[in-house]
Structure 1
Amino acid sequence: MKTLTSMIAMSALAMLMSVNVYADDGVHTSEAMEHAGKAQAHGEDGHAKELTKHAKESLEHAKHAQKAHADAHHHMDEAVKHLEEGIKHGEMGHADVATKHIEDAIKHMRESAH
């Protein structure tokens, strides 16, 4: 009986701990999308500096989401690549090219399962 109780307690603890991982992952994905959207808007206005700032924030959150469940994040991998390219072009002052990469990053974030 003691073993059964211990198994149930351990299962419940494992389940509660995994809920935090999924919640954190969702928060990071939401934050990544929010900053990517702001980067896109600034890019459309030709504001490369602001685009770059928000794209960097988006990249940090996307990387956190990516690490949370690496096996399920093909789309987050692609989003990270596009964010990095968007940042590179934003830093060069190419708002139009950077905006396209940010748009692609947003599409991949939406396709992500998380």
Structure 2
Amino acid sequence: MRVISTTIATGILAIFMSAQVWAADAGHTSEAMEHAGKAQAHGEMGHAKDALQHAKDSMAHAKAARDDHAAAHKHMDEAIKHLEESIKHAEMGHAEESAKHSDEAMKHMRQSGH
């Protein structure tokens, strides 16, 4: 009986402790999507400098989310590739092309399952 109680208590403790890890991972993906959306909006408005900063911020969070969760690795890698293109185009002043890549990055972030 004592073994069963200890097993149940340990299982419950493990669930509570891992919930914070899941929340932190979802936080990175959420932040990455928020910044990618802002990068897209600024790109569509022709604000390459602002699109650049948000795309860089999005990439930092996307990399953190990718590193936190291996199952999402493939989609986060694709999102990062599109964010790199978004940054490259924003640096060249190509705001609309930057926005397209930010949009593609968000699609892959959604598909990552976070």
**Structure 2 unmatched ranges of 5 or more:** none
In the alignment, the residues of structure 1 paired with residue 14 and residue 67 of structure 2 have an alpha-carbon distance, to the nearest angstrom, of 19
Instruction: Name the residue aligned to 1:8.
Output: 8
**Alignment size in residue pairs:** 114
Q: Deviations over 1:50-90 (max 9, x none)?
A: 00011111111111211221123322221111111211221
In the alignment, the residues of structure 2 paired with residue 39 and residue 72 of structure 1 have an alpha-carbon distance, to the nearest angstrom, of 22
Are 2:112 and 1:112 aligned?
yes
Are 2:58 and 1:29 aligned?
no
Q: Cα RMSD over matched residues? A: 1.6
In the alignment, the residues of structure 2 paired with residue 40 and residue 11 of structure 1 have an alpha-carbon distance, to the nearest angstrom, of 43
Instruction: Name the residue aligned to 2:92.
Output: 92
Letter in 2 for 1:42: H
Instruction: Name the residue aligned to 2:42.
Output: 42
Q: Say which is worse superposed, 95-104 or 51-60, in terms of deviation.
A: 95-104
In the alignment, the residues of structure 1 paired with residue 85 and residue 77 of structure 2 have an alpha-carbon distance, to the nearest angstrom, of 13
Q: Percent identity?
A: 61
1:10 partner SS = helix
1:73 partner SS = helix
1:111 to 1:71, Cα distance in 2 relative to 1, 3 A? closer
Letter in 1 for 2:21: V
1:57 to 1:78, Cα distance in 2 relative to 1, 3 A? same
1:51 partner SS = helix
In the alignment, the residues of structure 1 paired with residue 59 and residue 91 of structure 2 have an alpha-carbon distance, to the nearest angstrom, of 15
Contact 1:73 1:113 in 2 (8 A): no
What TM-score, normalized by structure 1, do the two folds share?
0.88
Letter in 2 for 1:75: H
Q: How is 1:47-58 mapped onto 2 (pairs within 5 angstroms)?
A: 47-58=47-58
